[in-house]
Amino acid sequence: MGSNVILRENLEGIEILTFNRPDKLNALNPEVMDTLDRIIPDLENNSSIRAVILRGAGEKSFVAGADIPQFLEFGPLESKAFALKGQRILHSLEHLPKPVIAAINGFALGGGLEIAMACHIRIAADTAQMGQPEVKLGIMPGYAGTQRLPRIVGKGRALELIMRGHMITAQEALAMGLVNQVVPLDKLMGECFKIAKEIMAQSPIAVKTAIEAINHGLNLTFEEACTLEANLFATLFATQDQKEGARAFLEKRTPHFKNH
């Protein structure tokens, strides 16, 4: 492949993906999205990867949206294909059976915020700024931003962010529940590592099943979602991890989970 638009590094089972176009504020282009598309299956299937952290190169930007010049070439057919492809890739990211953490180290705008919203947990540097400014370009979010944002922050806040197209601070994002935590920039990766390690200490199969229950349950009625939860809850009682977790609790020791 030979592409360096996304750098990969594995530290103690944590895969770090770095969007690496700092001269363009790590803006998305077709090469970046194709590279992410190729990486995601390995994130799922590689047993040496227990958690994933996404970040942007440099200190200014996580991902500052898409490269705008490509939009001048689009008509309705090209733009629909563009949106559907991005939605498919981010759906795959969101449904990874391992924890995915966004380390928002700077601007997370447009498609960049849509990538962050597809992650399971979002930690922002106190200098980060976020927004969906697409209306300023005469368009709207196309990577499922109009769907994930209201599910995260509520309809009213989502409508305001998308219709005004303005940027908000990390503290404002925290207040509305768009990010889980805000930390100083120099503490950002350390906090993401801490969270990843805490999750990695739990039963991988239990974490995977909880991710599945939440992701799929949100698209069902409450009653259907509760049935889904009960069914998935029951499957865990056929695992060795469940037995080990219960024994370890009763024996007052640290459990040794084996993901089966």
What is the C-alpha to C-alpha distance for residues 44 and 46, in angstroms, rounded to an integer?
Answer: 6
In this structure, the answer to whether residues 169 and 110 fall within a common structural domain is yes
Shared-domain flag, residues 196 and 72: yes
pLDDT at 190 over 80: yes
1 pLDDT more than 70 = no
> How many domains would you assign to the chain?
2
Instruction: Using alpha carbons, list the distances in angstroms from residue 70 to 17, 27, 28, 60, 73.
Output: 24, 12, 11, 23, 6
| Same-domain status, 223 and 193 | no
Domain that holds residue 236: 204-250
Burial of 117: CB neighbours in 10 Å, binned 0-12, 13-18, 19+: buried
Which tens digit of pLDDT belongs to each residue from 204-222? 999 999 999 999 999 999 9
Q: Does 134 participate in catalysis according to the annotation?
A: yes
Q: How many CB atoms lie within 10 A of CB 154?
A: 12
Catalytic residue among 9, 78, 114, 244: 114
Residue 231, domain CATH: 1.10.12.10
Q: How far apart are CA 147 and CA 25, in angstroms?
A: 25
Residues 186 and 228 in one domain: no
259 domain residue, yes or no: no
114 and 176 part of one domain: yes
Determine, yes or no, domain membership for 260. no
Instruction: State percent of the chain over pLDDT 90.
Output: 93
3-class SS of residue 219:
coil
Residue 15 has pLDDT above 70, yes or no: yes
Q: What is the arithmetic mean of pLDDT over 48-59? A: 96
Task: Determine the angle formed by the axes of helices 155-164 and 145-153, rounding to 10 degrees.
Answer: 130
What's the CA dihedral at 132, 195, 10, 20 to 10 degrees? Answer: 20
Regarding whether 220 and 136 lie in a shared domain, the answer is: no
Q: Which two tokens stand for residue 175?
A: 């207040």
Is the per-residue pLDDT at 123 higher than 80? yes
- Is 181 in a helix, a strand, or coil? strand
Separation of alpha carbons 192 and 202, rounded Å: 16
- 134, 191, 223, 251: the catalytic one is 134
d(CA 142, CA 167): 18
pTM of the model: 0.95
Q: Is 137 in the same domain as 246?
A: no
Whether the pLDDT of residue 61 is over 70: the answer is yes
30 and 61 in a single domain? The answer is: yes
Rg (the chain; Cα; Å): 19
Residue 37 and residue 83 in one domain: yes
Indicate whether 36 and 104 sit together in one domain. Answer: yes
88 and 144 inside one domain: yes
Examine the residue annotation and report whether 94 is marked as an active-site residue of this protein.
Answer: no
